[in-house]
Chains A and B, each alone.
Chain A
Amino acid sequence: MNLTIDVSNKENVAYVTLAGEVDAFTAPKLKDTLLPLTREEGQTVEVDFQDVSYMDSTGLGVFISALKSTKEHNSEMKLVQMQDRVYRLFKITGLTEIMNIDSTVRGGM
Protein backbone atom coordinates (compact mmCIF):
# COMPACT_ATOMS: atom_id res chain seq x y z
CA MET A 1 0.00 0.00 0.00
CA ASN A 2 1.16 3.48 -0.80
CA LEU A 3 0.97 6.90 0.68
CA THR A 4 1.81 10.09 -1.16
CA ILE A 5 2.67 13.13 0.91
CA ASP A 6 2.57 16.63 -0.55
CA VAL A 7 3.77 19.65 1.37
CA SER A 8 3.24 23.26 0.37
CA ASN A 9 3.80 26.41 2.38
CA LYS A 10 1.81 29.60 2.54
CA GLU A 11 2.88 32.21 5.04
CA ASN A 12 2.79 30.51 8.43
CA VAL A 13 0.89 27.45 7.33
CA ALA A 14 2.33 24.19 6.06
CA TYR A 15 -0.29 22.29 4.08
CA VAL A 16 0.27 18.55 4.13
CA THR A 17 -1.91 16.62 1.72
CA LEU A 18 -2.05 12.89 2.17
CA ALA A 19 -3.34 10.33 -0.30
CA GLY A 20 -3.45 6.59 0.25
CA GLU A 21 -3.12 4.52 3.39
CA VAL A 22 -1.29 5.26 6.61
CA ASP A 23 -0.08 1.98 8.08
CA ALA A 24 3.02 0.40 9.57
CA PHE A 25 4.79 0.61 6.19
CA THR A 26 3.98 4.21 5.33
CA ALA A 27 3.92 5.70 8.84
CA PRO A 28 7.73 6.16 9.14
CA LYS A 29 7.73 8.27 5.96
CA LEU A 30 4.87 10.37 7.29
CA LYS A 31 6.63 10.80 10.61
CA ASP A 32 9.82 11.98 8.89
CA THR A 33 7.85 14.61 7.00
CA LEU A 34 5.42 15.71 9.68
CA LEU A 35 7.60 16.00 12.78
CA PRO A 36 10.12 18.53 11.40
CA LEU A 37 7.17 20.74 10.34
CA THR A 38 5.81 20.80 13.89
CA ARG A 39 9.17 21.95 15.21
CA GLU A 40 8.84 25.37 13.53
CA GLU A 41 7.68 27.77 16.17
CA GLY A 42 4.48 29.63 15.34
CA GLN A 43 3.72 27.43 12.38
CA THR A 44 0.36 25.79 11.74
CA VAL A 45 0.51 22.38 10.15
CA GLU A 46 -2.70 21.55 8.35
CA VAL A 47 -3.08 17.93 7.33
CA ASP A 48 -5.63 17.11 4.65
CA PHE A 49 -7.09 13.63 5.05
CA GLN A 50 -9.54 13.74 2.17
CA ASP A 51 -7.80 10.96 0.21
CA VAL A 52 -6.79 8.83 3.16
CA SER A 53 -8.91 5.70 2.92
CA TYR A 54 -7.33 3.80 5.78
CA MET A 55 -5.20 4.46 8.80
CA ASP A 56 -4.12 1.99 11.45
CA SER A 57 -2.91 2.56 14.99
CA THR A 58 0.69 3.06 13.85
CA GLY A 59 -0.51 6.11 11.93
CA LEU A 60 -2.32 7.31 15.00
CA GLY A 61 0.98 7.13 16.89
CA VAL A 62 2.53 9.51 14.36
CA PHE A 63 -0.17 12.12 15.02
CA ILE A 64 0.15 11.75 18.79
CA SER A 65 3.91 12.32 18.50
CA ALA A 66 3.22 15.32 16.28
CA LEU A 67 0.74 16.70 18.81
CA LYS A 68 3.30 16.37 21.60
CA SER A 69 5.84 18.10 19.41
CA THR A 70 3.49 21.05 18.70
CA LYS A 71 3.16 21.56 22.46
CA GLU A 72 6.93 21.55 22.93
CA HIS A 73 7.59 23.92 20.04
CA ASN A 74 4.62 26.29 20.20
CA SER A 75 3.25 25.27 16.87
CA GLU A 76 -0.19 24.06 15.92
CA MET A 77 -1.66 21.12 14.10
CA LYS A 78 -5.01 20.91 12.40
CA LEU A 79 -6.49 17.82 10.80
CA VAL A 80 -9.09 18.39 8.10
CA GLN A 81 -11.46 16.50 5.78
CA MET A 82 -11.33 13.15 7.51
CA GLN A 83 -13.29 10.20 6.19
CA ASP A 84 -15.57 8.46 8.66
CA ARG A 85 -13.45 5.38 9.08
CA VAL A 86 -10.38 7.39 9.97
CA TYR A 87 -12.35 9.78 12.17
CA ARG A 88 -13.67 6.82 14.16
CA LEU A 89 -10.12 5.91 15.15
CA PHE A 90 -9.49 9.38 16.56
CA LYS A 91 -12.87 9.29 18.29
CA ILE A 92 -12.40 5.91 20.01
CA THR A 93 -8.96 6.79 21.30
CA GLY A 94 -10.27 10.00 22.84
CA LEU A 95 -8.04 12.11 20.62
CA THR A 96 -10.91 14.14 19.15
CA GLU A 97 -11.08 15.78 22.60
CA ILE A 98 -7.52 17.05 22.53
CA MET A 99 -6.76 17.51 18.83
CA ASN A 100 -7.96 20.17 16.45
CA ILE A 101 -9.96 18.07 14.05
CA ASP A 102 -12.26 19.73 11.56
CA SER A 103 -14.89 17.16 10.82
CA THR A 104 -17.24 19.23 8.71
CA VAL A 105 -16.48 17.69 5.36
CA ARG A 106 -16.52 13.99 5.94
CA GLY A 107 -17.44 11.22 3.62
CA GLY A 108 -17.56 7.49 3.91
CA MET A 109 -16.17 5.13 1.36
Chain B
Amino acid sequence: MSTLKLDLENYKELLQEYIRTKDEQALYQAEQFSKQSMQHKISPDEIINVHIQSLEEIYPEMPEYIQSSMNFLLETMISYGLAYQEHQSLREKQLELKSEISVAANMQKTLLSTVKPELEEVEIGALSVPAKQMNGDYHHFVYDGKGNLGIAIADVIGKGVPAALCMSMIKYSMDSFPEMRMDPDVILGSLNRVVERNVDSSMFVTMFYGLYNFEDHTFSYSSAGHEPCFYYRQDQDEFEEIDAPGLILGVSSESTYVRYEKKVEKGDLVILLTDGVTECRQGERFIEQEEVLKVIKSFAHLPAQEIVENVYRYFERLQDFQLRDDFTLIVLRRNV
Protein backbone atom coordinates (compact mmCIF):
# COMPACT_ATOMS: atom_id res chain seq x y z
CA MET B 1 0.00 0.00 0.00
CA SER B 2 2.00 2.93 -1.29
CA THR B 3 -0.33 5.65 -0.04
CA LEU B 4 0.01 4.43 3.53
CA LYS B 5 3.79 4.47 3.23
CA LEU B 6 3.67 8.02 1.98
CA ASP B 7 1.51 8.92 4.94
CA LEU B 8 3.96 7.20 7.26
CA GLU B 9 6.82 9.35 5.94
CA ASN B 10 4.68 12.41 6.31
CA TYR B 11 3.60 11.48 9.81
CA LYS B 12 7.12 10.66 10.89
CA GLU B 13 8.37 14.04 9.72
CA LEU B 14 5.55 15.88 11.45
CA LEU B 15 6.12 13.97 14.66
CA GLN B 16 9.87 14.59 14.56
CA GLU B 17 9.33 18.26 13.94
CA TYR B 18 6.92 18.56 16.80
CA ILE B 19 9.16 16.74 19.25
CA ARG B 20 11.98 19.10 18.27
CA THR B 21 10.12 22.42 18.24
CA LYS B 22 6.93 21.88 20.31
CA ASP B 23 5.54 24.23 17.72
CA GLU B 24 1.84 25.00 17.25
CA GLN B 25 2.32 24.83 13.51
CA ALA B 26 3.24 21.16 13.71
CA LEU B 27 0.12 20.53 15.74
CA TYR B 28 -1.96 22.33 13.14
CA GLN B 29 -0.43 20.08 10.50
CA ALA B 30 -1.29 17.09 12.65
CA GLU B 31 -4.90 18.24 12.56
CA GLN B 32 -4.72 18.55 8.77
CA PHE B 33 -3.19 15.09 8.64
CA SER B 34 -6.06 13.57 10.61
CA LYS B 35 -8.64 15.26 8.40
CA GLN B 36 -6.89 13.98 5.29
CA SER B 37 -6.74 10.50 6.79
CA MET B 38 -10.46 10.59 7.42
CA GLN B 39 -11.07 11.56 3.82
CA HIS B 40 -9.17 8.44 2.87
CA LYS B 41 -11.17 6.47 5.43
CA ILE B 42 -8.11 5.60 7.47
CA SER B 43 -9.23 4.22 10.80
CA PRO B 44 -7.76 5.20 14.20
CA ASP B 45 -5.90 1.93 14.71
CA GLU B 46 -3.97 2.58 11.53
CA ILE B 47 -2.89 5.97 12.85
CA ILE B 48 -1.64 4.34 16.06
CA ASN B 49 0.22 1.84 13.94
CA VAL B 50 1.84 4.62 11.94
CA HIS B 51 2.74 6.30 15.22
CA ILE B 52 4.41 3.15 16.54
CA GLN B 53 6.37 2.66 13.34
CA SER B 54 7.47 6.28 13.33
CA LEU B 55 8.67 6.02 16.93
CA GLU B 56 10.63 2.88 16.11
CA GLU B 57 12.34 4.65 13.23
CA ILE B 58 13.06 7.85 15.12
CA TYR B 59 14.19 6.08 18.29
CA PRO B 60 15.71 2.73 17.38
CA GLU B 61 16.84 2.48 21.02
CA MET B 62 13.30 2.92 22.35
CA PRO B 63 12.89 1.12 25.70
CA GLU B 64 11.09 -2.18 25.52
CA TYR B 65 8.35 -1.13 27.94
CA ILE B 66 7.35 1.79 25.71
CA GLN B 67 7.18 -0.54 22.72
CA SER B 68 4.96 -2.93 24.71
CA SER B 69 2.71 -0.17 25.97
CA MET B 70 2.23 1.09 22.40
CA ASN B 71 1.24 -2.39 21.27
CA PHE B 72 -1.21 -2.52 24.13
CA LEU B 73 -2.75 0.77 22.97
CA LEU B 74 -2.95 -0.56 19.42
CA GLU B 75 -4.87 -3.59 20.62
CA THR B 76 -7.46 -1.43 22.36
CA MET B 77 -7.96 0.63 19.22
CA ILE B 78 -8.79 -2.23 16.85
CA SER B 79 -12.48 -2.28 17.85
CA TYR B 80 -12.71 1.48 17.58
CA GLY B 81 -11.32 1.15 14.09
CA LEU B 82 -14.04 -1.32 13.23
CA ALA B 83 -16.71 0.94 14.71
CA TYR B 84 -15.35 3.77 12.58
CA GLN B 85 -15.51 1.70 9.42
CA GLU B 86 -19.02 0.60 10.26
CA HIS B 87 -20.01 4.19 10.80
CA GLN B 88 -18.67 5.05 7.35
CA SER B 89 -20.63 2.29 5.69
CA LEU B 90 -23.84 3.16 7.57
CA ARG B 91 -23.42 6.77 6.47
CA GLU B 92 -23.21 5.72 2.87
CA LYS B 93 -26.28 3.59 3.31
CA GLN B 94 -28.13 6.48 4.87
CA LEU B 95 -27.36 8.69 1.89
CA GLU B 96 -28.61 5.95 -0.38
CA LEU B 97 -31.86 5.69 1.59
CA LYS B 98 -32.30 9.43 1.56
CA SER B 99 -32.05 9.57 -2.19
CA GLU B 100 -34.41 6.62 -2.55
CA ILE B 101 -36.95 8.37 -0.38
CA SER B 102 -36.71 11.53 -2.39
CA VAL B 103 -37.35 9.55 -5.56
CA ALA B 104 -40.35 7.93 -3.87
CA ALA B 105 -41.59 11.33 -2.70
CA ASN B 106 -41.49 12.59 -6.26
CA MET B 107 -43.36 9.55 -7.48
CA GLN B 108 -45.95 10.07 -4.79
CA LYS B 109 -46.41 13.66 -5.87
CA THR B 110 -47.13 12.48 -9.39
CA LEU B 111 -49.39 9.63 -8.27
CA LEU B 112 -51.47 11.71 -5.92
CA SER B 113 -51.57 14.85 -7.97
CA THR B 114 -55.04 16.19 -8.52
CA VAL B 115 -56.17 18.87 -10.87
CA LYS B 116 -57.86 21.77 -9.20
CA PRO B 117 -60.89 22.48 -11.37
CA GLU B 118 -61.24 26.01 -12.71
CA LEU B 119 -64.97 26.59 -12.59
CA GLU B 120 -67.18 29.55 -13.11
CA GLU B 121 -69.63 28.80 -10.32
CA VAL B 122 -67.14 27.99 -7.60
CA GLU B 123 -63.68 29.32 -7.01
CA ILE B 124 -61.26 26.91 -5.34
CA GLY B 125 -58.04 27.42 -3.42
CA ALA B 126 -56.01 24.40 -2.31
CA LEU B 127 -52.63 23.88 -0.69
CA SER B 128 -50.98 20.81 0.80
CA VAL B 129 -47.50 20.93 2.32
CA PRO B 130 -45.78 17.89 3.87
CA ALA B 131 -43.88 18.27 7.17
CA LYS B 132 -41.30 15.76 5.98
CA GLN B 133 -40.51 14.47 2.53
CA MET B 134 -43.58 12.30 2.16
CA ASN B 135 -47.07 13.72 2.56
CA GLY B 136 -49.53 11.84 4.79
CA ASP B 137 -52.29 14.27 3.87
CA TYR B 138 -54.31 13.83 0.73
CA HIS B 139 -56.86 15.82 -1.17
CA HIS B 140 -58.59 15.09 -4.39
CA PHE B 141 -61.08 16.74 -6.72
CA VAL B 142 -63.42 14.81 -9.01
CA TYR B 143 -65.65 16.73 -11.38
CA ASP B 144 -68.29 14.55 -12.97
CA GLY B 145 -69.15 17.02 -15.74
CA LYS B 146 -72.81 17.00 -14.71
CA GLY B 147 -72.65 19.74 -12.18
CA ASN B 148 -71.17 17.82 -9.27
CA LEU B 149 -67.77 18.32 -7.74
CA GLY B 150 -66.46 15.74 -5.27
CA ILE B 151 -63.80 16.85 -2.83
CA ALA B 152 -61.90 14.51 -0.55
CA ILE B 153 -59.54 15.60 2.19
CA ALA B 154 -57.80 12.96 4.29
CA ASP B 155 -55.07 12.44 6.84
CA VAL B 156 -53.30 9.17 7.53
CA ILE B 157 -52.45 8.51 11.15
CA GLY B 158 -48.75 7.95 11.06
CA LYS B 159 -46.23 9.81 9.00
CA GLY B 160 -43.57 9.23 6.41
CA VAL B 161 -43.27 6.33 4.03
CA PRO B 162 -45.94 3.96 5.47
CA ALA B 163 -48.51 6.77 5.53
CA ALA B 164 -47.67 7.66 1.95
CA LEU B 165 -48.08 4.07 0.78
CA CYS B 166 -51.45 3.92 2.50
CA MET B 167 -52.56 7.12 0.76
CA SER B 168 -51.65 5.76 -2.64
CA MET B 169 -53.89 2.79 -1.98
CA ILE B 170 -56.79 5.02 -0.96
CA LYS B 171 -56.39 7.08 -4.08
CA TYR B 172 -56.55 4.04 -6.33
CA SER B 173 -59.59 2.69 -4.55
CA MET B 174 -61.32 6.01 -5.03
CA ASP B 175 -60.42 6.08 -8.69
CA SER B 176 -62.02 2.69 -9.12
CA PHE B 177 -65.40 3.70 -7.65
CA PRO B 178 -68.11 4.21 -10.26
CA GLU B 179 -68.62 7.87 -11.03
CA MET B 180 -72.37 7.93 -10.66
CA ARG B 181 -72.16 6.98 -7.00
CA MET B 182 -70.28 9.90 -5.56
CA ASP B 183 -72.45 10.17 -2.46
CA PRO B 184 -70.18 10.98 0.48
CA ASP B 185 -71.68 8.40 2.85
CA VAL B 186 -71.37 5.62 0.26
CA ILE B 187 -67.79 6.52 -0.60
CA LEU B 188 -66.68 6.60 3.02
CA GLY B 189 -68.41 3.28 3.70
CA SER B 190 -66.55 1.62 0.81
CA LEU B 191 -63.23 3.16 1.75
CA ASN B 192 -63.65 2.04 5.35
CA ARG B 193 -63.85 -1.55 4.18
CA VAL B 194 -60.79 -1.11 1.96
CA VAL B 195 -58.72 0.32 4.81
CA GLU B 196 -60.00 -2.18 7.35
CA ARG B 197 -59.17 -5.10 5.13
CA ASN B 198 -55.93 -4.05 3.48
CA VAL B 199 -53.99 -1.78 5.74
CA ASP B 200 -51.80 -2.63 8.70
CA SER B 201 -53.84 -2.75 11.89
CA SER B 202 -52.02 0.19 13.39
CA MET B 203 -52.81 2.49 10.49
CA PHE B 204 -55.94 4.60 10.26
CA VAL B 205 -57.28 7.31 8.05
CA THR B 206 -59.53 10.27 8.73
CA MET B 207 -61.43 11.65 5.76
CA PHE B 208 -63.94 14.34 5.03
CA TYR B 209 -65.79 13.90 1.76
CA GLY B 210 -67.92 16.66 0.30
CA LEU B 211 -70.04 16.87 -2.85
CA TYR B 212 -70.90 20.25 -4.29
CA ASN B 213 -73.95 20.43 -6.50
CA PHE B 214 -73.86 23.38 -8.90
CA GLU B 215 -77.53 23.25 -9.78
CA ASP B 216 -78.92 24.00 -6.36
CA HIS B 217 -75.70 24.97 -4.62
CA THR B 218 -75.97 22.42 -1.89
CA PHE B 219 -72.92 20.94 -0.27
CA SER B 220 -73.50 17.41 1.01
CA TYR B 221 -70.82 15.80 3.15
CA SER B 222 -69.84 12.98 5.46
CA SER B 223 -66.90 12.64 7.77
CA ALA B 224 -64.91 9.67 9.01
CA GLY B 225 -63.38 11.05 12.18
CA HIS B 226 -61.92 14.04 10.37
CA GLU B 227 -61.25 17.52 11.76
CA PRO B 228 -64.46 19.55 11.61
CA CYS B 229 -64.54 21.87 8.64
CA PHE B 230 -65.98 25.40 8.55
CA TYR B 231 -68.58 27.43 6.73
CA TYR B 232 -67.99 31.17 6.50
CA ARG B 233 -70.99 33.48 6.12
CA GLN B 234 -69.84 36.54 4.31
CA ASP B 235 -72.80 38.73 5.26
CA GLN B 236 -72.29 38.13 8.99
CA ASP B 237 -68.51 37.70 8.90
CA GLU B 238 -68.96 34.59 11.05
CA PHE B 239 -67.90 30.95 10.99
CA GLU B 240 -70.00 27.87 11.57
CA GLU B 241 -68.49 24.48 12.32
CA ILE B 242 -69.34 21.79 9.78
CA ASP B 243 -69.18 18.68 11.87
CA ALA B 244 -70.39 15.26 10.88
CA PRO B 245 -69.92 12.52 13.48
CA GLY B 246 -68.44 9.34 12.08
CA LEU B 247 -65.79 6.80 13.02
CA ILE B 248 -62.27 7.03 11.66
CA LEU B 249 -61.62 4.67 8.70
CA GLY B 250 -60.14 1.26 9.36
CA VAL B 251 -61.26 0.69 12.94
CA SER B 252 -64.44 -1.30 12.45
CA SER B 253 -65.74 -2.98 9.32
CA GLU B 254 -69.29 -2.21 10.44
CA SER B 255 -69.00 1.57 10.46
CA THR B 256 -71.64 3.44 8.52
CA TYR B 257 -71.64 7.10 7.71
CA VAL B 258 -74.32 9.74 7.70
CA ARG B 259 -74.72 12.30 4.92
CA TYR B 260 -75.45 15.89 5.87
CA GLU B 261 -76.38 18.78 3.63
CA LYS B 262 -75.79 22.50 3.68
CA LYS B 263 -77.03 25.22 1.37
CA VAL B 264 -74.21 27.46 0.18
CA GLU B 265 -75.01 31.14 -0.37
CA LYS B 266 -73.32 33.42 -2.83
CA GLY B 267 -69.99 34.77 -1.56
CA ASP B 268 -69.77 32.28 1.31
CA LEU B 269 -66.79 30.01 1.91
CA VAL B 270 -66.51 26.30 2.64
CA ILE B 271 -63.21 25.57 4.38
CA LEU B 272 -61.75 22.07 4.57
CA LEU B 273 -58.58 21.34 6.50
CA THR B 274 -56.43 18.75 8.26
CA ASP B 275 -55.17 18.79 11.84
CA GLY B 276 -51.85 20.15 10.61
CA VAL B 277 -53.73 23.45 10.44
CA THR B 278 -55.63 23.28 13.72
CA GLU B 279 -52.85 21.63 15.75
CA CYS B 280 -50.30 24.31 15.03
CA ARG B 281 -48.23 25.28 18.00
CA GLN B 282 -45.94 28.14 18.77
CA GLY B 283 -43.21 26.82 21.02
CA GLU B 284 -45.07 25.21 23.91
CA ARG B 285 -48.28 27.10 23.23
CA PHE B 286 -51.12 25.56 21.27
CA ILE B 287 -52.92 27.70 18.80
CA GLU B 288 -56.57 27.85 19.67
CA GLN B 289 -59.24 27.30 17.09
CA GLU B 290 -60.39 30.92 17.38
CA GLU B 291 -56.97 32.07 16.33
CA VAL B 292 -57.01 29.84 13.24
CA LEU B 293 -60.39 31.24 12.29
CA LYS B 294 -59.28 34.79 12.98
CA VAL B 295 -56.37 34.32 10.59
CA ILE B 296 -58.61 32.85 7.89
CA LYS B 297 -61.06 35.70 8.40
CA SER B 298 -58.34 38.29 7.95
CA PHE B 299 -57.69 36.96 4.44
CA ALA B 300 -61.30 36.11 3.57
CA HIS B 301 -61.68 39.00 1.13
CA LEU B 302 -58.91 37.65 -1.12
CA PRO B 303 -59.26 35.18 -4.03
CA ALA B 304 -59.51 31.57 -2.73
CA GLN B 305 -55.99 30.51 -3.71
CA GLU B 306 -54.53 33.59 -2.05
CA ILE B 307 -56.44 32.82 1.15
CA VAL B 308 -54.88 29.38 1.53
CA GLU B 309 -51.42 30.62 0.64
CA ASN B 310 -51.57 33.49 3.09
CA VAL B 311 -52.87 31.31 5.89
CA TYR B 312 -50.08 28.84 5.27
CA ARG B 313 -47.43 31.53 5.26
CA TYR B 314 -48.79 32.91 8.53
CA PHE B 315 -48.60 29.59 10.37
CA GLU B 316 -45.32 28.59 8.78
CA ARG B 317 -43.77 31.73 10.19
CA LEU B 318 -45.43 31.24 13.56
CA GLN B 319 -43.86 27.79 13.79
CA ASP B 320 -40.39 29.03 12.81
CA PHE B 321 -40.72 27.50 9.34
CA GLN B 322 -40.73 23.95 10.69
CA LEU B 323 -44.05 22.20 10.27
CA ARG B 324 -44.78 19.55 12.88
CA ASP B 325 -47.48 17.95 10.80
CA ASP B 326 -48.59 17.87 7.18
CA PHE B 327 -50.69 20.93 6.38
CA THR B 328 -53.64 20.89 3.96
CA LEU B 329 -56.17 23.64 3.47
CA ILE B 330 -58.92 23.91 0.84
CA VAL B 331 -61.23 26.89 0.39
CA LEU B 332 -64.32 27.00 -1.87
CA ARG B 333 -66.21 30.16 -2.64
CA ARG B 334 -69.57 30.30 -4.38
CA ASN B 335 -69.24 32.93 -7.09
CA VAL B 336 -72.59 33.07 -8.86
Contact = CB atoms under 8 A, between A and B. Distances in A.
A and B touch in the complex (CB under 8 A): yes
Interface in A27-48: 31
21 contacts: A31-B202, A56-B325, A57-B155, A57-B157, A57-B206, A60-B157, A60-B204, A61-B157, A61-B158, A65-B201, A65-B202, A67-B251, A68-B251, A92-B227, A92-B228, A93-B225, A93-B248, A94-B246, A94-B247, A95-B251, A97-B247
B158 to A, nearest CB: 6
Contacts of B202: 31, 61-62, 64-65
Interface string B219-232: 00000111110000
Contacts of B158: 57-58, 61
A2 B117 CA distance: 44
Given A61-B158, A93-B206, A98 B247 contact: yes
Interface centre among B158, B201, B251, B325 (most CB of A within 10 A): B251
Given A61-B158, A93-B206, A98-B252, 12 more contacts: A57-B206, A58-B159, A64-B157, A64-B202, A65-B201, A65-B202, A85-B286, A92-B225, A93-B247, A94-B225, A94-B245, A95-B225
A68 B203 CA distance: 12
Interface residues of A, number: 21
B95 to A, nearest CB: 23
Interface residues of B, number: 25
Nearest to B160: A24
Interface in A16-30: 24
A50 B248 CA distance: 24
Chain B CB within 10 Å — which of A24, A61, A68, A93 has the most? A93
A61 B224 CA distance: 15
A61 B275 contact: no
A68 B275 contact: no
Interface of B: 155, 157-159, 201-204, 206, 224-228, 245-248, 251-252, 255, 275, 279, 286, 325
A54 B284 CA distance: 10
Task: Determine which residue in B202, B206, B252 has the highest number of CB atoms from chain A within 10 A of its CB, and name it.
Answer: B202
Q: Which of A54, A65, A68, A94 has the most CB of B within 10 A?
A: A94
A-side interface mostly: helix
Contacts of B248: 64, 93-95
Contacts of A65: 201-202
Interface string A75-109: 00000000001000000111101100000000001
Contacts of B279: 56
Nearest to B246: A94
A107 to B, nearest CB: 15
A92 B226 contact: yes
A19 to B, nearest CB: 16
Contacts of B228: 92
B227 A61 contact: no
A47 to B, nearest CB: 17
A68 B252 CA distance: 9
A67 B157 CA distance: 16
Contact of A64 (B204, B226, B275): B204
A31 B203 CA distance: 13
Contacts of A85: 286
Contact of B203 (A54, A61, A98): A61
A58 B225 contact: no
A107 B137 CA distance: 31
B245 A58 contact: no
The 6 closest A-B CB pairs, nearest first, are A93-B225, A94-B247, A93-B248, A57-B157, A61-B157, A65-B202
A65 B201 CA distance: 7
Nearest to A67: B251
A87 B159 CA distance: 22
A68 B200 CA distance: 12
